[in-house]
Amino acid sequence: MMNNSCKVTFYVVASAQQTTQTVACRLALKAWEQGHHVLVLVGDENEAVSLDKIMWDIPAGRFLPHSRGPADADTPVSIDVHGAEVAEGRDVVINLAEQAVSEPGRYKRLLEIVPGSDQQRQASRQKFRIYRDLGMEPETHKIR
């Protein structure tokens, strides 16, 4: 059953100084500080390892408690590969994978980060259409 109360937001990376991973780190920190349990979905295990390393340094001077793979409910931020079984209790999803999140209505918030290159944006355009076809009303914000 679809719950259309999920708020979907696309963040378009419009600055050469930002990457999808640095934006994901900032958004994950903000969501955690607001009391959410965050799931960051990536395309494959190499991306998971890379993002795990980046989360130790970004944002600078802050600690973002996180783990890779299916985390226990006490871990605020979990990094997992798209398509893996999602742990209960995650209410915010940050999607860095090329595929749309299945059953997005399970979550309060879905944050899609759109890469800077036009070639990589095709997958994001497709995901936007998928969510809209599910009856959701995605919003778009530019990240500079």
State the average pLDDT for the chain: 88
> With 0-12 CB in 10 A as exposed, 13-18 as middle and 19+ as buried, what is 125?
exposed
What DSSP element (H or E) covers 127? helix 118-133
| Positive/negative CA dihedral, 30, 18, 131, 123 | negative
* Location of structure tokens 């419009």: 14
> How far apart (Å, rounded) are the C-alpha atoms in residues 18 and 15?
6
pLDDT tens for 9-33 read 999 998 777 889 999 999 999 999 9
pTM value? 0.91
pLDDT tens for 43-96 read 999 999 999 999 998 878 888 899 887 766 778 999 999 876 776 778 999 999
Please report the domains of the chain, with CATH numbers, ordered by start residue.
7-143 (3.40.50.10110)
> How far apart (Å, rounded) are the C-alpha atoms in residues 120 and 29?
25
